[in-house]
Amino acid sequence: MSRPACKAKYHEDKETMTLDWRVCSRARLARDARFDGKFFIGVLTTGIYCRPICRSRTSKERNVRYFPSAAAAAEAGFRPCLRCCPECSPGSPAWAGTQNTVSRALRLISETGLEEGGIEALAERLGIGSRHLRRLFLRHLGATPSAVAQTRRLHFAKKLIDGSALPMTEIAFAAGFGSVRRFNAAIRDVYHRTPTQIRSLAQKISRQPENQYLFHLHFRPPYDWKRMLEFLAVYATPGVETAEGGYFRRSIRLNKDHGYFEVSLDASRNALSVQVQIGEPGSLFSIIERIRAMFDLDADWPTIARTLETDPALGPQITFHPGLRVPGCWNGFEFATRAILGQQTDTDTAKTLAGRMVSAFGLPFCPANGLTHLFPTPEILANADLGSIGLRRPEAEAIRALAHAVHNGPIRFEKVTDSNALLGRLAELSGITECTTQWAALRALREPDAFPSADRQLARVLGLENSSEFEQRSLRWRPWRAYAAIYLSTFASEIRARGNESLSSTGKEVLAGNTVLKARIPAAARRAHRA
C-alpha cells in the first residue's frame, strides 16, 4: 500500500484513537518493554508496523503513526514487521479493568473466533446490535471485530510457520482459516510473501518430537513467576498438575483429544516458554489462548500498581513484590469442584481428597513428569460414589449437583457472556458457598474486579471480621480488586506484621506529666509508611 493511502486511512479513523503520542514517543525511543503490546507503531516510509521494542533503526517522529492494536495498524494498511514479530507481543490491555462489552466480546473471540455466525451472532449473544459492537471496537481498539479476529488468526499462523515443522495445510486449519486457499491469500496479502517464503526467512526450526509444539508467550514486565508458581503449587491437583523446579505441568482434555503442557519462565525474552503435546494441532489456538489467560499474560502492571499502591496495607507489597498476577485455571468446572472440596477443610486435606477423586474417577494418562490422570468429566462425577473416597455427604452432593448442572447445560464456564448470571446459577446449587462463587469469578471467569469479600481468612489479614466492612474497604482498589485479593492471600503474614507494627509504633501517644509525647517511629516503619 502506498504511503499516502496509509496516511489517509489513519486520518479517516483517527477519532477512534485515544493514545497520547507523547507517551508513545518516549516509550518507542526508549524501547520500553513495559509498553510492549500496549500500542503499535506504523512507519510511513516502509508501510510496516512494529512493536515498541523493535530493534530496527529508529524512525523520525514525523514518519510514524501510533495504533492501539495490531488490528488497527493492519486496517490502516501497514503490514507486520518480520524482525520484531508483532504476533509475539502481549495482548492489548486497552479494554481491561471493566466488565464491559468489549472484554466479553474478546473473550468469546479468543474461544471461538467468529466462526459461529460472524459479527451478527456475536453481537446477538452480547445483547447489542452489530453496528454498536463495531463502534465499541473502533473506540477501544481502533479496529472492527472481524479485523481483530482476522489479525489473531494471522498472528497465530505466523507463530506456527516460524516455530513448527507442521505442513502448511495443518497450519491453515489450526489457525482457523477453514481452507488452504484462504490461508495462502491472507498471508500473501498481509506479509507480501508466501507462507513458504516466510518459513525460509525464519531461524532454523528446532525439531520437536512428534505432536509437540513450542511457543514463547510474551508479557509486559515485571512478572512474579516465583509467586505464581508457589500459588499454583498450593492448589495443584495431584496426578493432574505439578508445580515444581521452576515448571508448571498439567494434563488437558480438549475436543475429545488429550495431552499435556509444560510452562517455564524465559526471563531473557520477557516470556513464558510453553511446550504443548497434543494429537490434534487444530486445538492449538484454543490451548494457547487458555494458557495466556491462565497465567494472566496480558495484564498492564503499571496501571494496576498505580491504583493499589495508594493503600497503606498493599502499598509496601506492591513496591517490594511487583508483578504479581492473578492465577487463573484451565477449566472452570474443575476449579469449582476443587473449591467445594476446600470449603470446610484445610488446603492439604482438600488436596488429598482431590488426588483420591482423580485416581478413582479420572481417565488414566500416560505418565509424564508426575502427570498420571485427566480430571474426571462432569458426566462421570454426576453419578460417582464420592463417599467411597472419604468425602463428606454435603460436599459429595454439592459436587454431584454441580456436575449435573454442567453436563446438562444450565451452567457453562465456556463462552460466558453474562458473568453475574452464571454466578447466580452457581450460587443456587445446594452446598456451594458465597466465597466459592466469588473465587470462581476471580479465577475461573478472570474478572479483574472480582473480589471474595466473604472470605473471612482474607478479611482477617486486614484485621476485619465483617464481610461488609471488607467489601467497603475493597472499593478503593477498583477496578483491580482481584489483584488486591491475590496480594492479601500471598503476603498475608507480611501484611499482618506491618499492620501490627503500625499499630504499636506509628499512632501511639505517650503521656509524660502534662506533655503528650509521640512515640518514636522506627526507621523501617517510616519507610514502609512513605511507600
The catalytic residues are 50, 455
| Cα four-point dihedral sign 232, 235, 236, 242 | positive
Q: Kindly state the DSSP code that residue 463 receives in the 8-state scheme.
A: T
> Which class for 483: exposed (0-12), middle (13-18), buried (19 or more C-beta within 10 A)?
buried
| Cα four-point dihedral sign 372, 374, 376, 380 | negative
CA atoms within 13 A on the CB side of 391: 31
How many whole angstroms separate alpha carbon 253 and alpha carbon 148? 27
* CA nearest to 367, candidates 260, 244, 442: 260
Beta carbons within 8 Å of 523's beta carbon, 6+ residues apart = none
Q: How is 20-53 classified by DSSP, letter by letter?
A: -HHHHHHHHHHT-GGGBTTBEEEETTTTEEE-TT
Distances (CA, A) of 330 to 25, 135, 255, 443, 513: 38, 32, 14, 10, 64
- What is Dmax (Cα atoms) for the chain? 91
For 174-179, which contacts have Cβ atoms below 8 Å and span 24 or more sequence positions? 174/281, 174/282, 174/283, 174/284, 174/285, 175/285, 176/113, 176/115, 176/285, 177/153, 178/115
* CA nearest to 44, candidates 81, 2, 80, 15: 2
> Which class for 294: exposed (0-12), middle (13-18), buried (19 or more C-beta within 10 A)?
buried
How many whole angstroms separate alpha carbon 426 and alpha carbon 419? 11
Other CB atoms closer than 10 Å to residue 288's CB: what's the count? Answer: 19
CA atoms within 13 A on the CB side of 46: 18
Take residue 510 and report the three cell numbers written for it: 505517650
